[in-house]
Amino acid sequence: MSATAIQLVGTEPSDRRGVTLEPETSRSAAPASTSAPAPKQTESVTPTAVAVKDLSTPRLDLKDITKIFHGEAGEVVALQDVNLVVKPGEFISLLGASGCGKTTLLRIIGGLEKAYSGTALLDGRPIKGPGRDRGFVFQDHRLLPWLTVEENVGFGLAHLKKKERAEIVQAHIKLVGLEAFSKSYPSQLSGGMAQRASIARALATDPEILLLDEPLGALDALTRMYMQEEIEKIWQAKPGLTVIMVTHDVDEALYLSDRIVVLSPRPGRIKRIVDVGISRPRPREGQGFNTIKKSLLAEFHLSHKEDDPEFTI
Amino acid sequence: MSDRSISVIKGLVLPAVLLAAWTLSTWNRHSLLFPAPSLSFQAIAELWNTHALQGYLAVSLRRYALGLLLGTSLGFVAGAALGSSRIIERFFLPNFHMFRQVPLVGWIPLLIIWFGLGDLSRIVLIAMGAFFPILVNTHAGFRQVPRNYLEVGDAFGLTRWEKIRRIAIPAALPWIRSGTILSLTFGWTILVASELLTQANGGLSDILDVGRERFRMELVNAGILILGLLGFLFNYAATRFWSIGPLKWLSQNIHTPSKRGTT
């Protein structure tokens, strides 16, 4: 790997694409931009660098987010000076090892974590708490066991009239392909189906941002890959939907994301932001894929071949 | 034959054997202390035909229903309040536990002075008996509502009240079920105890009283049989109600192809 061929972080403002890759991916780079029409914005790793202003208002604008947990073992800096700008329609992955604060960051965006310093703006307005403009999918599906799939999917729609609610619920059950299970209870679903129902529940309120907290972490490897394709389809079926996904699976991040935000632990901070310029639907291997993967794994001090369960579950 | 009917038959074996033994031992002779079961059945039929039983039932069931209604609703509200607020819990839980230590029949003299020897005393006593089981269970049920479920409510921006109504109560229902069934059973016991306070009170215990006074053991046995059957019936009905109604979801864990635990 030559350092000049790969430029994972755009250093010049004129660089529209953070990742400049070998010919194979350069060719496929153009169609990829259709999923994120706005020119790619480049962020720098160093907190001092100013992010380049895009003309479109960012969907999400995080400035100097710092979160400290006060536990019995003293203070733990979960996040330090995190700056991130997310454009409408982007698919972002927060990638990092356990304890890097990626879930905390997602929870701050979701409004579930309140005591932090810095500003978190959603469409220019400060995030004050949870809301229907964000859909949250937890690692464990958290479907309520006493409700059927359709009742779970309609959970956030209690304010609507019955008929309107039923229409939205059916549309979302169809979106995730669970038509045959709409009357089933969560305990009757497989892990993958339950997580699809959970995604449908989060999307039913028509949020602008879908927040996925390691949604596939509890699934087996094959179901994971299938679900990654499902998530991509769902994202593409909802134009303008921004997705922020927490993962510790490099392949998953590479398969799905427009940009991968690499976080490093203790204190949790953004180490690098990687623009994945591979066209969709993406191959799960190939030179472009492998080059970025190699470089990402190097961030975690792993060689490409190594199989450390901590990072490649 | 279904598993269910087999288990019903198994459960009926012992009573059938006892009944047969009793019948055989009283065959062709009259015993004052152990009259033949058939005499008790005749007594029940007679009570029914003279409409005496219907009258006793109406009086007793009214006391029971009012006492249960009062006790379980107050117990549920108190348990839910204790379970959803740490402050309320700290202030009131020790007091509830203290009151609970007083044996229920220990309240009877006080109740008689306050409410007299009429139905009000009985209803209050039944209510007190029904109050604590449902309070303790509702409280425990609310305490164990998974935080994760409440967080789903947070993620959808639910208010505290909405979270109680839409998440905490349904999640606590298995405990609330146990509480209601215990209250039902305990309340039935207290009903009979409260009725035996005064004679000729118009309730089912009059059958026992009359039988005892006139030394008609078959009538006493008939009264016991009626009380036992009704208690069993209420318990069965309550259990059925929960398992085919609000807790149907608990019995639906049939098909789990590749369900993984959460990590």
Burial letters A64-78, b for 16+ CB under 10 A, else e:
ebbbeeeeeeeeebb
Give B-chain residues touching A188 at CB under 8 angstroms: 252-256
Does A262 lie in the same domain as A127? yes
CB burial of residue A313 (10 Å; 0-12, 13-18, 19+): middle
> CB–CB of B260 and A191 under 8 A?
yes
Does A194 lie in the same domain as A59? no
Let me know if residue A23 belongs to a domain: no
Q: CA nearest A201 in B: which residue?
A: B156
Burial letters A122-137, b for 16+ CB under 10 A, else e:
beeeebeebbbbbbbb
Let me know if residue A165 belongs to a domain: yes
**Smallest Cα distance from A112 to chain B, Å:** 7
A112-154, pLDDT tens digit by residue? 888 888 888 888 888 888 888 899 999 999 999 999 999 999 9
CATH number for the domain harbouring residue A215: 3.40.50.300
Contact (Cβ atoms closer than 8 angstroms) between residue A207 and residue A111 = no
Within 8 A by CB and 6+ apart from A258, the residues are A32, A35, A36, A40, A90, A91, A92, A275, A276
Q: What residues make up the domain containing A151?
A: 143-206
Does A281 lie in the same domain as A170? no
Q: CA nearest A203 in B: which residue?
A: B156
> CB–CB of B154 and A130 under 8 A?
yes
Question: Which residues from B are below 8 Å from A when comparing CB atoms?
Answer: 148-149, 151-152, 154-157, 162, 166-167, 170-171, 173, 246-247, 249, 252-263
Give A-chain residues touching B262 at CB under 8 angstroms: 139-140, 218
**Smallest Cα distance from A141 to chain B, Å:** 9
Let me know if residue A274 belongs to a domain: yes
pLDDT bracket for residue A302 (50, 70, 90): low
Give A-chain residues touching B261 at CB under 8 angstroms: 218
Does A242 lie in the same domain as A219? yes
> CB–CB of B166 and A158 under 8 A?
yes
Give A-chain residues touching B162 at CB under 8 angstroms: 158
Q: Going residue by residue through chain B, which has 263 residues, state the pLDDT in tens, using 9 for 90 and above.
A: 677 888 888 888 998 999 899 888 888 777 788 888 888 999 999 999 999 999 999 999 999 999 999 999 999 999 999 999 999 999 999 888 888 889 988 999 999 999 988 899 999 999 999 999 999 999 999 999 999 999 999 999 899 999 999 999 999 999 999 999 999 999 999 999 999 888 778 999 999 999 999 999 999 999 999 999 999 999 999 999 998 888 888 887 654 444 444 33
Does A299 lie in the same domain as A174? no
Q: Hey, is the C-beta of A223 within 8 angstroms of any chain B C-beta?
A: yes
Does A297 lie in the same domain as A251? yes
* Triad A61, A63, A64: Cα angle to 5°: 155
Does A109 lie in the same domain as A226? yes
Does A114 lie in the same domain as A239? yes
Number of structural domains, chain A?
2
Q: What is the ipTM of this complex?
A: 0.80
Task: Please identify, among A206, A222, A240, the residue that sits at the C-terminal boundary of a domain.
Answer: A206
Let me know if residue A45 belongs to a domain: no
> CB–CB of A190 and B257 under 8 A?
yes
**Smallest Cα distance from A59 to chain B, Å:** 19
- A80: Cα separation from own chain's centroid: 19
Does A111 lie in the same domain as A90? yes
Pairwise pLDDT comparison (A311 vs A131), residue with the higher score? A131
CA dihedral A58, A59, A63, A69 (to 10 degrees): -170
Does A161 lie in the same domain as A199? yes
Q: Which of B156, B166, B254 sits opposite A132 (nearest CB)?
A: B156
Let me know if residue A3 belongs to a domain: yes
Q: Which of B145, B148, B151, B152 has the most A C-beta neighbours within 10 Å, making it the best mutation to test the interface with A?
A: B152
Q: CA nearest A191 in B: which residue?
A: B259
> CB–CB of A220 and B260 under 8 A?
yes
Does A97 lie in the same domain as A1? yes
Give B-chain residues touching A217 at CB under 8 angstroms: 263
Within 8 A by CB and 6+ apart from B238, the residues are B180, B181, B184
State the Cα–Cα distance between residues B131 and B139, nearest whole angstrom. 12
Distances from the Cα of B195 to the Cα of A156, A196, B157, angstroms: 51, 58, 51
Let me know if residue A38 belongs to a domain: no
> CB–CB of A139 and B262 under 8 A?
yes
Helix (H, G, I), strand (E, B) or coil at A87: coil
User: In degrees rounded to 5, what are phi and psi of residue A278?
Assistant: -95, 135
State the Cα–Cα distance between residues A242 and A88, nearest whole angstrom. 6
Q: Which of B249, B255, B260 sits opposite A146 (nearest CB)?
A: B249
Does A119 lie in the same domain as A233? yes
